Amino acid sequence: MEKNIESGVAHDETVAKEEHEIAPSPVSSELDYEYLTDKTLNKSIVKKIDLRVLPLCCWIYLLNYLDRGNVGNAKVLNQETGDDLLQQTHMSATGYAVAVSLFSVAYTIFEVPSNMVMKRWVRPSLWLGFLLFGWGVLTMGFAGVHNYATVVVLRFLIGAFEAGFFPGIVYFITMWYRVQERSLRIAFVVAHANLAGAFGGAIAYGFGEINGSNGLQGFRWLFIVEGLITALCCLLVILFLPDYPSRARWLTEDDKKYAEDRLKIHGGGYTKTHATWKEIRETCFSPRMLLHYLIYILDCVPLGSFTFFTPTLVTGLGYKSLEAQLLTIPPWVCGYTMALVLSFSADHFNARGWHVAIGSVLGGAGWLTAAALPHDMYTARYGALVLAACGAFPVSAPLSAWVTCNVPSLTTMFIATALNNSCAGVSQVIAQWIWKPDEAAIGYPTGNYMCAGCSFAVAILSVVLRLWYGRMNKHGVPDASGNKREWLL
């Protein structure tokens, strides 16, 4: 940029050296604030960042969800001929729930340690690339499973590698974007999970058609190809994912300075400063942060249901396994579109709480309708499933961004993002057990009612949290470091 930032921002060198300088740093003057929030300059730098950061993040997150959800496709793929995952490994429906639950347990355990590694010891491109390669190879290993024990071990290990991926990406985004820019970017990345769900059904359908080729069942080909693509893409991450603004070779020195300084207005960017015990306690145990985590747990119950059980649910609507793979596509596509619209509006109007509530009410209405309709009203219940897709996935991005916007201290950003996403592991364990196999003939009422209840609870609690932040702003509540703070709504 032609204007040197140092001429526009009078940094306080003494404050800059203090331990707690990194929480949202107040800008030294009105001129500084205007310069760092200049729409033209920010638009220019954000455009450069978007072009370099977002496409690769979206692609690898799509792979993440393909590899996470393909076990749900494999569960019913070619079941009419006895060639699905369950029958080939002599696994019961209860055994499947246990295996996927252990994935979720690993997911919960390894979230915070993974983000700690990325914050303190390994730069993002190397760590995320390592995780990508690890679960890609393990996914390929699924092609050789012949017994239940192998399935359990592989799913747990895949969960361990995948655990740090999404919180790592969210934490990575906070190093590049201001608070009012994050929801849409996180949503754009997360929305590719919806596309993964859509593509996953189409891909599974294709491999179902070549079932038995070279002596391998369709689900084995599914794991081989998807795992291989994931493992190879680790090279793209290591070579092309930019770590921090200061290391971006495609930014000028002035651009790097501006990209870093503009984040300090509300808190953001990269720091190696260690958090105080007070900052850690508030991040982990303060009532408002616990409410964030609780809301995310509730939202991820229906989200986990979609991830692991969409093919099962569609099969339960009277469709054959291959037809079910294709019919999983429309709900995911609707969720993708809704996610982008909802997150853009939430950021634009600084109204994340209200938007989460609206999306959750729509999703809850879909689940409740599916539960209340007679089990044999297949078309109407399929429409309800599409409506339900407009809830859980679309609101997960604003919820994730909301945490990063209001974390008690920038030093604990990695803890907050990891704790929030580890809640998804808890939710996924719950989701495994509410879709009872013996309820297939009556339309899975337990699962539908549970997801409806969770969605409506998310709506209510997000409104409570929105009003809470409004009150905090009214009374000028500071952050954990004692800095004046504008809490995002």
321-352 pLDDT, tens digit per residue, is 667 677 778 888 888 888 888 888 888 888 99
Question: Which range of residues forms the domain containing residue 230?
Answer: 50-245+266-474
Structure confidence at residue 316 (pLDDT)? 65
Asked whether residue 318 is domain-assigned, the answer is yes
pLDDT of 30: 41
Helices (H), 142-175: 148-163, 165-174
Quick check: 353 and 465 in contact, CB under 8 A?
yes
In a domain, 20, yes or no: no
Q: Which residues of the chain have pLDDT under 70?
A: 1-33, 266-273, 316-322, 324
- What pLDDT is stored for residue 36 in this prediction? 74
Question: Is the residue at 260 inside a domain?
Answer: no
Is residue 431 domain-resident? yes
Question: What pTM does this model have?
Answer: 0.77
Q: Please check whether residue 445 lies inside any domain of the structure.
A: yes
Question: What CATH number is associated with residue 59?
Answer: 1.20.1250.20
Burial group, residue 333, by CB count within 10 angstroms (0-12, 13-18, 19+): middle
SS3 at position 383: helix
Cβ atoms < 10 Å from Cβ of 43:
9
Crossing angle of the two packed helices 218-232 and 39-76, in degrees rounded to 10: 150
**Domain presence at residue 466:** yes
Q: Count up the domains in the chain and report the number.
A: 1
Q: Phi/psi at 391 (nearest 5 deg)?
A: -110, -75
Coil, strand or helix: which one is 315? helix
The CA distance from 171 to 416, in Å, is: 9
| pLDDT one-digit tens code per residue, 199-231 | 777 888 889 889 888 889 988 999 999 999 999
Q: Are 262 and 178 in contact (CB under 8 A)?
A: yes
350: left (phi over 0), alpha (psi -120 to 50) or beta: left
pLDDT of residue 269: 55
* 392 belongs to a structural domain: yes
Which residues does 126 contact at the CB level (< 8 Å), separation at least 6? 238
Identify residue 411 by its one-letter amino acid code. T
Asked if residue 487 belongs to a domain, the reply is: no
Do residues 401 and 472 make contact, with C-beta atoms less than 8 angstroms apart? no
Supply the pLDDT for residue 136.
Answer: 95
Please tell me the predicted confidence (pLDDT) of residue 32: 63
Rounded CA Rg of the chain: 23
DSSP string, 245-308: GGG-TTS-HHHHHHHHHGGGGTS-S---PPPPHHHHHHHHH-HHHHHHHHHHHHHHHHHHHHHH
